[in-house]
Amino acid sequence: MSAAREAVEQVLAGAVRHRPPPPDGVILARGDTLTPEPVRWLWPGWLALGKLAILAGAPGTGKTTIALNMAATVTVGGLWPDGTRCPAGDVLVWSGEDDPADTLLPRLLAAGADRKRVFFVGDTVEDGQPRPFDPSSDTPALLAAARKLPELRFILVDPVVSAVAGDSHKNTEVRRGLQPLVDFATAAGAVLLGITHFSKGGQGQDPSQRVTGSIAFTAVARVVLVAAKVKNEDGGEHRILARSKSNLGPDDGGFRYTLEQCEPLPGIWTSCAVWGESVAGTARDLLAEPEEHSEQAGPSGEAAEFLRERLALGLCPSNTLRTEAEDAGIAWRTVRRAADKLGVVKRKGGMNDGWYWSLPSAKVSTNSPEECEEVHTKTVDKFAFFAGQVDTFDGGSPP
């Protein structure tokens, strides 16, 4: 570079450094100063880079497993369910519900992930002390850490409602809570996938309207995906992932999938999603929650279906059932009435123990860890005792 050219550039650089800041006010961008850009897709028509997508569904539909399957596809540059190739990249996973070591990583490995491209969000260090990461306040710090990942392509937040510090049913508070995450995804050029649940009721409506919390969750999201179990004509079930809303492309169609148990490492058993054939139609037409086909419509039928599915695993503590029912938005009094109609067997665990429920046709087994995942370890020794016993014991009436 000539001395004259260098001198000119130094002058220009100094002018830029000393240029006064723009005055306060709103900046207007004239249309002819902008360059139109196409939407950039990670999965064409399904997951857009720099945008928020929501994956919603009822409990037990495998939402997290599906999301981790998507993450695994990104890490290896694999094929999406429609056969299109995904560009390889890094993924960032935060979960407020599942442990990375015993749940998330095994599911990723079962889906074929490259673990070197997977990063789990850990604690936040503040004033030299670690504390749990809070997506509602720590997003700026997360963005700073994510700058070390130039190939970040997929961000998973489970559940996305955790990003809202205020009332998740208030529109303005949800938008305020989601905006830092959306800005994060835009700055990183990555897909932001948030997982959430369906609210109680609303069967037969547009599934996007069943997303729990404020409508702002689906309004801010550019794409809404929904997962559900669907009744077959013969009474069986299959699962479908469908596109319920899209502001960027088609808003219909879906794919069948199954959840299978596999062993990615010796002694490590976990679930994985296996994709099936594509299906056509709107999400409302494709998806039907099991309770929609219950023998009895309304809350009672919903509670009965919940009990059939949950107790199919075997003997279960009533306290566990109550917690899971309330998480699913089903009133406990409704569950108890449904249990009476189904003839649910209620057994007392002893003077200082709680009650255990089972279906009337179920055999009480000693294989409790596989049959009832939430049953306390000490219950195992009681199963043999329960077999063949009367339905009630001294020690009070059933819960």
For the stretch 76-99, pLDDT in tens is 999 999 999 999 999 999 998 889
Percent of the chain with pLDDT over 70: 79
pLDDT of residue 379: 34
- Give me the amino acid identity at 363: K
C-alpha dist (Å) from residue 171 to 126, 250, 302, 370: 30, 26, 28, 42
Question: What are the tens digits of pLDDT across the range 291-322?
Answer: 444 444 466 777 888 888 788 767 888 888 88
The long-range contacts involving 32-35, CB below 8 angstroms and separated by at least 24 positions, are none
Residues of the chain with CATH 3.40.50.300: 41-290
pLDDT at 381 over 50: no
pLDDT at 239 over 50: yes
Q: Which of 107-121, 179-193, 272-286, 375-389 has the highest mean pLDDT?
A: 107-121
pLDDT of residue 47: 97
Lowest mean pLDDT among 73-77, 143-147, 358-362: 358-362
The DSSP code for 364 is P
Q: Which of 45-49, 122-126, 163-167, 227-231 has the highest mean pLDDT?
A: 45-49
| β-bridge pairing 41-43 and 254-265 | unpaired
**What are the residue ranges of helices labelled H in 231-386?**
283-286, 298-311, 318-327, 332-342, 368-371, 380-386
pLDDT at 75 over 90: yes
Phi, psi of 136 (to 5 degrees): -80, -15
Residue 297 CB coordination number (10 Å): 12
Name the pLDDT band for 358 (thresholds 50, 70, 90).
confident
The terminus-to-terminus CA distance of the chain in angstroms comes to: 86
Q: Which residues of 304-330 are buried (b: 16+ CB within 10 A; e: fewer)?
A: bbbbeebbebbbbbbebbeebbeebbb
Contact 70, 82 (CB under 8 A): no
| DSSP three-state, residue 333 | helix
Residues 134-146 have a mean pLDDT of: 84
pLDDT of residue 19: 62
pLDDT of residue 202: 57
pLDDT at 206 over 60: yes
| DSSP three-state, residue 162 | helix
Looking at the domain 41-290, which fold is it?
A: Rossmann fold (3.40.50)
Name the pLDDT band for 9 (thresholds 50, 70, 90).
low
- Comparing C-alpha atoms, which of 250, 143, 131 is closest to residue 187? 143
| DSSP three-state, residue 166 | coil
pLDDT of residue 81: 96
